[in-house]
């Protein structure tokens, strides 16, 4: 990655806004999500992440996670599940495939 692109990505991450609906913020999840967005060319320019509710599990997926949506200019780019172990799964397969670990 070029120096200019790296500096822009760092600035964009600093401007990324998190909105926690129905729960308090969780800096560990924010840090994990920011790091993953920075390594995904389809999401590097996202400017807002909305997380809905507390960390949860379900009978179909017992791993702890939060659910949310990623936006750019108020346009939803994808939904996500961010897991306690650092895994992030997006609703759009093309975005999952673009993820650089």
Better-scored residue on pLDDT, 2 or 73: 73
Measure the CA–CA gap between 95 and 43, rounded to whole angstroms: 8
pLDDT per residue as tens digits for the range 38-94: 999 999 999 999 999 999 999 999 999 999 999 999 999 999 999 989 999 999 999
Beta carbons of 51 and 19 less than 8 angstroms apart: yes
Residue 54 has a pLDDT of 93
Residue 95: C-alpha distances to residues 15, 16, 39, 55, 82 (Å): 21, 18, 11, 23, 14
pTM: 0.84
> What are the boundaries of each domain within the chain?
3-55+62-98
């Amino acid at each position: 990655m070029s120096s200019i692109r790296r500096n822009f990505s760092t600035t964009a991450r600093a401007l990324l806004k998190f909105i926690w609906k129905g729960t308090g913020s969780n800096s560990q999840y924010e840090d994990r999500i920011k790091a993953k967005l920075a390594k995904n060319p389809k999401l590097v320019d996202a400017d807002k992440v909305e997380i809905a509710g507390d960390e949860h599990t379900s009978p179909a997926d017992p791993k702890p996670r939060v659910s949310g949506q990623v936006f750019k200019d108020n346009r939803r780019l994808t939904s996500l599940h961010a897991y306690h172990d650092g895994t992030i799964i997006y609703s759009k397969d093309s975005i999952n495939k673009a993820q650089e670990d």
